[in-house]
A = this chain, B = another copy of it.
């Protein structure tokens, strides 16, 4: 890799943002522990269990990043494995920092124009009871809120990471990820979860079928269109499958994502409310199981074999599908939503392959297509009569369109400025040795 000056540019920009970002000098005599008086109140125990669950849920969502890293590297070739792992380390690390410096306050700005808010350094005053007690929110402190949302934020870019695998130029992707997590995600996020225009219209997206998954899926679609398919994937004689190099790694990835989803959806109850958390656990798990069963059946009929990668994508499809409505549809409806998502993902993967949109891990199908499906499903299955099918469709398309356009423009600009694709030789040789100088696996004896 020879992008030294450009990478340093990122570094400098980061440091500048850092310095401008806020007041780092901690106030004297702050105290990170609740006062004895507060601990003795009646509300304290409930506040403690709520906030604890949000923190644990954040840790569960964190582990989804390992899930993505292993799933994406398992489903691709071993020669590009270090590259994928590196991208995932970068995304979670820089993603949390960007969310601290800009994203959190941009996504939850309080009063704003409903479309776009200016971000800022998130740091709060530990002595301010309005940030550290149920006065802030019944379910979490300021920092509990931040860490849970920060773990969500990085997910968007992680979804893209899989779709562009095996041919994307590392520095271009690193810059793109910073911009996508740091600036684009908080905008569409604010539309719904920050109280913006979609929220005011009554749009519903419980845990982010659209805000996170369709967002990531459509960003991925834009990037893949700009990038083109991997060499040798679509030949004159047809589609040549490029097998993943390690199915155990891919399976570990999907199970970890499933585990993390208990935090992703369960934590989106925004408290430890026993009714809500347990109900969401049940609908989430059943939709995931139904997704796997459906994709196993459908892929068996279509491909005449029990396909593990389709089964794995079926689990994810069910999870993405239930995410928008996990607290507002019946248990039977959750199963139906999962079954449809599991079937849909098989057809979507085959469809994108047929139109030569090369997505090595099926991210556009899993997150984009099933994200839309899950959002629309709220309009069909919700037991809350205020949810409207039309507004659900509008909302998911608006979010998907913004993610697509932002990505198309920004990744397109990067294409012109610095290039987004590695050379043909490097793609053949593999990105691990080409960009990182080391293979993922090595056997040195002696």
Q: Give the contact stretch, choosing among A213-221, A330-338, A402-410.
A: A330-338
A60-95 interface code vs B (CB 8 A; 1 in, 0 out): 101101100110011001110110011011101111
The main secondary structure of chain A at its interface with chain B is helix
Quick one: which of A24-41 are within 8 Å of B by CB? 24-30, 32-34, 39
Chain B hits for A428, CB < 8 A: 445-446
- Give A259's nearest chain B residue, CB to CB: B63
A131-145 interface code vs B (CB 8 A; 1 in, 0 out): 011000000111110
Chain B hits for A65, CB < 8 A: 255
Contacting pair A440 B278 (CB below 8 A): no
Selected from B88, B100, B258, B306, the residue in CB contact (under 8 A) with A286 is B100
Q: Give the contact stretch, choosing among A107-115, A348-356, A381-389.
A: A381-389
Contacting pair A90 B25 (CB below 8 A): no
Selected from B23, B93, B275, B331, the residue in CB contact (under 8 A) with A33 is B275
A28-B383, A132-B275 as given contacts; A332 in contact with B63, CB under 8 Å: no
Complexed CA–CA distance, A232 and B333 (Å): 49
**Size of A's binding interface in residues, CB under 8 A:** 158
Q: Give the contact stretch, choosing among A42-50, A193-201, A393-401.
A: A42-50
Contacting pair B276 A147 (CB below 8 A): no
Most buried by B among A32, A85, A276, A297: A32
A236 within 8 A of B: no
Chain B hits for A288, CB < 8 A: 93
Contacting pair A232 B143 (CB below 8 A): no
Complexed CA–CA distance, A430 and B7 (Å): 40
Selected from B266, B278, B430, B436, the residue in CB contact (under 8 A) with A307 is B436
Contacting pair A442 B243 (CB below 8 A): yes
Q: How many monomers of this protein are in the complex?
A: 3
Contacting pair B77 A445 (CB below 8 A): yes
A244-260 interface code vs B (CB 8 A; 1 in, 0 out): 11111101101110110
Complexed CA–CA distance, A384 and B65 (Å): 35
A34 to chain B, nearest CB (A): 5
A164 within 8 A of B: no
- Give A333's nearest chain B residue, CB to CB: B26
A266 to chain B, nearest CB (A): 7
A385 to chain B, nearest CB (A): 6
Complexed CA–CA distance, A307 and B411 (Å): 24
Complexed CA–CA distance, A146 and B276 (Å): 14
8 new A-B contacts at CB < 8 Å, known A49-B272, A70-B251, A85-B308: A26-B333, A48-B274, A49-B52, A52-B53, A94-B293, A97-B286, A100-B286, A170-B306
13 pairs, CB–CB < 8 Å, chain A vs chain B = A14-B293, A18-B335, A30-B383, A59-B259, A70-B252, A86-B306, A90-B292, A93-B291, A121-B332, A132-B275, A147-B285, A245-B442, A307-B436
